[in-house]
Amino acid sequence: MIVKNASTHTRSKRKKDRYVNLPDAVLPFLRNYYKIYKPKKYLFEGQYGEQYSTRSAQQVFKQSLERANINKNIGIHGLRHSFATHLLEQGTDISYIQKLLGHNNIKTTLIYAHVGKKDIKAIKSPIDQIKW
């Protein structure tokens, strides 16, 4: 399932639509959350039923890092970088990642998609596939 990201309605760069894959494993949790909290306008509403502020989202992210014992000094934007990097490591074509991230230029996507030296060393030359 692909879902339009809530950042569409915030002040994202150039106000472009962003899409994310909703993992099947998350859907039961979201359904349960919806039944309990019965949000009216936004799936995750702030204290008075309005959209979460950027600061509130950042605080939730920071608390989540602490609970998960992740001791990295990264911001919420790091999720985009991690998403792109993990997709690339799983073998997802860079052009699909570019589309998911909403980039016009592939060079912008490549900034997010750092590849480790170990991954580069694991690449086999097409010549190695030739049966001599």
Closest-CA residue to 109 (of 123, 90, 89, 95):
95
For the beta carbon of residue 102, count every other beta carbon within 10 angstroms.
19
Residues with pLDDT less than 50, the chain? 1-2, 5-11
Three-class SS state of 41? coil
Instruction: Note the pLDDT of residue 77.
Output: 87
Q: Report the predicted TM-score, pTM, of the whole model to 2 decimal places.
A: 0.67
Instruction: Note the pLDDT of residue 10.
Output: 40
- E strand intervals along 1-132: 2-4, 19-21
The predicted-structure confidence for 20-38, as pLDDT tens digits, reads as follows 788 899 999 999 999 999 9
Rounded CA separation 23/2 (Å): 9
